[in-house]
């Protein structure tokens, strides 16, 4: 049973709160609002904060006010209002506290009185034009030569049937959860299942500030809906122009599902570098290489100010990657007092507030079957005497091996040292006598996790761990819940309780992976944040799973020797590009459905 106060905020409640702010809260301070902000009922926008209070049952929210212009997230005006909307009777809602330019007031009436009496330090914000001025994303340069465009000279090399995808040796099914977003099922390579499920679980941000709204913000974006806020994609920017675009559907706040046109894309991408290569100029003379061409499945969720680019990438060597890139606008507070302890100044009155990003994935691997064990390989230096010269010492690295028998052993804290090779091991062996496996490799630059002494930490306890491997259980399908956001003090799902020292040898296992980065907004985050450097995730790589690299069987391989005619098409397919790739495809007309049915 879930208490009603844990419910996510609906659009109707936000609308009611907007009416309350305008007709009740703001009506109590007409002189202040008019003279300080030139308030006309349209030029201020508010942004919610979460969680709503300090204890279970609270529904008390700080609303931060901004200029209502393009990119308003970086246009704070210095006013924040705390509203108690816990009652189901809207007439009982009330302002609990008001903050303006570093000072707290009992309510809007006290703020108005202090202003009229000249007891307020007013910091007037220059009125921004509708396009936001510095926050406008309109290009500051004219259109010039077109950027490179990718195309498939002989058409797509992948196929899609409903939600099932085939690409070379890969096959999988994709889906979209309204709360957690993009997810994959039944991932197979060369016909053999590698994973039952790979899915996003949560995206978390914890903010710091010297303003109340900023300092109390802990966004758990799954509660808002990573799938629900998946946005229509723009051809040629969000994905390659000739990608395959797929509509997605979600059911929320409605009796009918909502379709988002072209909100998921699938494409093969030449990454512009070799997957592997060698140029031999010793003994025999030859060149051998393979272009790194991979299949990408992508969706982009816009949750408030942030845009998350979610990718699952399939490589020809049997490796698979899960990756998220963060862009969008930074969140901001009004710059005052000791604000520079909590971020950088981005504009005249704008403090880009320090915050963490954590993303959690569920990776249900089935390597060579359902039953797996977790094995760690690493290195250690050992000292030895040179057998041919005993008076000399050699320091040589050697392989260390350990089977991680229990869930406690397989739970690696966020900043702790983790074995560099950690893999799910099958009960079968390859030709060379090694246990077949898939290795988990994490890319992360995470900031620190919120202290465990925090009253709300249990709700996000998955972020304690960079990796935790548990037994797969039907009653533990997700690492969190949409109800954790609004009652993190009594969480509906506590991930830390999944880890209870059960044996994980030869069991059906799930890996829970956390990746993240620390973001200290800086001047180059204006007008908004770039994806470069803000990309984290994980790789799943075959580790003795095959007898040799399966990409050697790719049709894309290139090989020629010094004795061969490397200009001949039958020797080197690259010599034939003038014939096979000389015609540009027909580019479909540009369309976009992102502004319909808002």
In contact, 327 and 137? CB cutoff 8 Å:
no
**For the chain, percent helix, then strand, then coil, each to nearest 5?**
15, 45, 45
State the DSSP H helix or E strand holding residue 422, giving kind and residue range, or none if neither.
strand 421-429
Residue 14: the pLDDT is 95
Compute, in degrees rounded to 10, the torsion defined by CA atoms 296, 300, 301, 304: 150
Question: 588-594: long-range contacts at Cβ-Cβ below 8 A with a sequence spacing of 24 or more?
Answer: 590/235, 590/236, 591/235, 591/262, 592/232, 592/234, 592/235, 592/262, 593/232, 593/260, 593/261, 593/262, 594/231, 594/232, 594/234
- Letter string b/e over residues 147-168, b meaning 16 or more CB atoms within 10 A of that residue's CB: eeeeeeeeeeebeeeeeebebb
Q: What is the mean pLDDT of residues 535-563?
A: 96
Q: How far apart are the first and last CA of the chain?
A: 34
Residue 2, both tokens = 């879930």
pLDDT one-digit tens code per residue, 466-500: 999 999 999 999 999 999 999 999 999 999 999 99
Other CB atoms within a 10 A radius of the CB of residue 365 amount to: 28
Is 381 a residue whose pLDDT tops 90?
A: yes
Residue 233, both tokens = 């994609």
Residue 283: the pLDDT is 87
- State the fold for domain 4-135: Nuclear Transport Factor 2; Chain: A, (3.10.450)
Residue 9, both tokens = 């905020």
Is 553 a residue whose pLDDT tops 80?
A: yes
C-alpha 279: how far from chain center: 38
Please, which residues have CB within 8 angstroms of residue 119's CB and are 6 or more apart in sequence? Answer: none
Residue 597: the pLDDT is 62
**pLDDT tier, 578 (very low <50, low <70, confident <90, very high otherwise):** confident
Is 581 a residue whose pLDDT tops 90?
A: no
Residue 116, both tokens = 């009229």
Is 518 a residue whose pLDDT tops 80?
A: yes
Residue 577: the pLDDT is 86
CATH number of 178-184+201-223+304-374+403-547: 2.70.98.20
pLDDT one-digit tens code per residue, 146-176: 899 998 988 999 999 999 999 999 999 999 9
What is the phi/psi pair of residue 496, to 5°?
-55, -25
Percent of the chain whose predicted confidence (pLDDT) is above 90? 93
pLDDT one-digit tens code per residue, 431-448: 999 999 999 999 999 999
Catalytic residue among 39, 306, 329, 483: 306
Strand 435-443 and strand 421-429: the pairing is antiparallel
**pLDDT tier, 576 (very low <50, low <70, confident <90, very high otherwise):** confident
- Letter string b/e over residues 331-340, b meaning 16 or more CB atoms within 10 A of that residue's CB: bbbbbbeebe
**Residue 437: closest CA among 340, 590, 540:** 540
How many whole angstroms separate alpha carbon 20 and alpha carbon 215?
A: 24
- Letter string b/e over residues 498-532, b meaning 16 or more CB atoms within 10 A of that residue's CB: bbeeeebeebbbbbbbbbbbebebeeebbbbbeee
How many whole angstroms separate alpha carbon 29 and alpha carbon 116?
A: 10
Q: What is the mean pLDDT of residues 258-270?
A: 96
Is 507 a residue whose pLDDT tops 90?
A: yes
Task: Confirm whether 306 is a catalytic residue.
Answer: yes
Q: Which single residue is written with the structure tokens 């994806």?
A: 531
Catalytic residue among 107, 221, 238, 487: 221
Domain ranges for the chain: 4-135, 178-184+201-223+304-374+403-547
Residue 65, both tokens = 């006010």
Residue 1: the pLDDT is 87
Stated pTM of the model:
0.96
What is the pLDDT of the chain when averaged over all its residues? 96
Residue 598: the pLDDT is 61
Question: 54-59: long-range contacts at Cβ-Cβ below 8 A with a sequence spacing of 24 or more?
Answer: 54/455, 54/489, 55/455, 55/489, 56/3, 56/5, 56/487, 56/489, 56/490, 57/3, 57/5, 57/86, 57/487, 58/5, 58/86, 59/5, 59/84, 59/85, 59/86, 59/486
pLDDT one-digit tens code per residue, 285-311: 999 999 999 999 999 999 999 999 999
Task: Confirm whether 286 is a catalytic residue.
Answer: no
Beta-strand runs (E) in 523-563: 535-543, 557-561
Residue 582: the pLDDT is 76
Please, which residues have CB within 8 angstroms of residue 559's CB and are 6 or more apart in sequence? Answer: 286, 287, 288, 289
């Amino acid at each position: 049973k879930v208490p009603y106060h844990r419910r996510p905020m609906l659009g109707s409640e936000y609308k009611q709160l907007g009416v309350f702010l305008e007709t009740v809260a703001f009506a109590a301070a007409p002189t202040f609002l008019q003279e300080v902000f030139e308030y006309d009922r349209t030029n201020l926008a508010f942004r919610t904060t979460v969680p709503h209070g300090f204890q279970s049952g609270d529904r008390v929210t700080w609303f931060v006010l901004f200029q209502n212009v393009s990119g308003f997230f970086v246009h704070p005006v210095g006013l924040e209002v705390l509203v108690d909307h816990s009652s189901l009777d809207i007439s009982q809602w009330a302002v609990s506290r008001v903050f303006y330019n570093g000072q707290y007031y009992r309510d809007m009436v006290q703020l108005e009185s202090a202003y009229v009496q000249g007891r307020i330090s007013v910091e007037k914000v220059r009125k921004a034009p509708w396009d936001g001025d510095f926050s406008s994303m309109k290009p500051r340069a004219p259109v010039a030569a077109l950027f490179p465009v990718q195309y498939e000279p002989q058409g797509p090399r992948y196929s899609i049937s409903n939600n099932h995808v085939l690409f070379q040796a890969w096959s999988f099914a994709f889906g979209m959860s309204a709360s957690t977003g993009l997810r994959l099922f039944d991932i197979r390579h060369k016909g053999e299942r590698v994973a039952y499920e790979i899915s996003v679980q949560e995206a978390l941000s914890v903010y710091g500030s010297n303003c109340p709204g900023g300092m109390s913000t802990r966004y758990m974006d799954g509660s808002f809906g990573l799938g629900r806020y998946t946005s229509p994609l723009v051809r040629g920017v969000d994905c390659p122009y000739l990608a395959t675009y797929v509509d997605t559907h979600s059911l929320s706040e409605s009796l009918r599902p909502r379709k988002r046109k072209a909100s998921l894309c699938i494409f093969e991408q030449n990454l512009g570098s070799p997957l592997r290569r060698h140029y031999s100029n010793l003994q025999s003379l030859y060149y051998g290489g393979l272009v790194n061409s991979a299949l990408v499945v992508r969706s982009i969720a816009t949750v408030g100010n942030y845009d998350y680019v979610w990718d699952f990438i399939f490589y020809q060597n049997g490796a698979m990657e899960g990756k998220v890139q963060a862009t969008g606008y930074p969140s901001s507070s009004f710059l005052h007092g000791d604000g520079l302890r909590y971020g950088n100044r981005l504009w005249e009155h704008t403090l880009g507030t320090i915050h963490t990003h954590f993303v959690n994935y569920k990776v249900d691997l089935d390597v060579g079957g359902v039953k797996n064990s977790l094995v760690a390989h690493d290195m250690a230096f050992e000292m030895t005497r040179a057998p041919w010269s005993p008076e000399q010492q050699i320091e040589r690295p050697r392989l260390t091996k350990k089977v991680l028998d229990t869930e406690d052993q397989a739970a690696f804290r966020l900043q702790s040292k983790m074995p560099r090779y950690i893999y799910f091991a099958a009960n079968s062996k390859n030709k060379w006598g090694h246990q077949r496996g898939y290795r988990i490799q994490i890319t992360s630059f995470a900031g620190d996790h919120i202290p465990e002494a925090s009253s709300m930490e249990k709700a996000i306890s998955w972020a304690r761990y960079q990796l935790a491997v548990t037994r797969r259980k039907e009653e533990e399908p997700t690492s969190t819940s949409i109800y954790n956001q609004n009652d993190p003090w009594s969480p509906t799902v506590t991930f830390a309780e999944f880890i209870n020292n059960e044996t994980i040898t030869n069991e059906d296992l799930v890996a829970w992976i956390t990746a993240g980065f620390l973001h200290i907004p800086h001047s180059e985050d204006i007008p908004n944040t770039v994806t470069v450097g803000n990309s984290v995730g994980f790789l799943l790589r075959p580790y003795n799973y095959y007898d040799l690299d399966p990409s050697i069987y790719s049709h894309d391989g290139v090989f020629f020797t010094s004795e061969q005619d490397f200009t001949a098409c039958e020797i080197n397919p690259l010599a034939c590009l003038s014939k096979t790739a000389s015609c540009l495809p027909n580019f479909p007309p540009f369309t976009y459905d992102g502004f319909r049915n808002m």
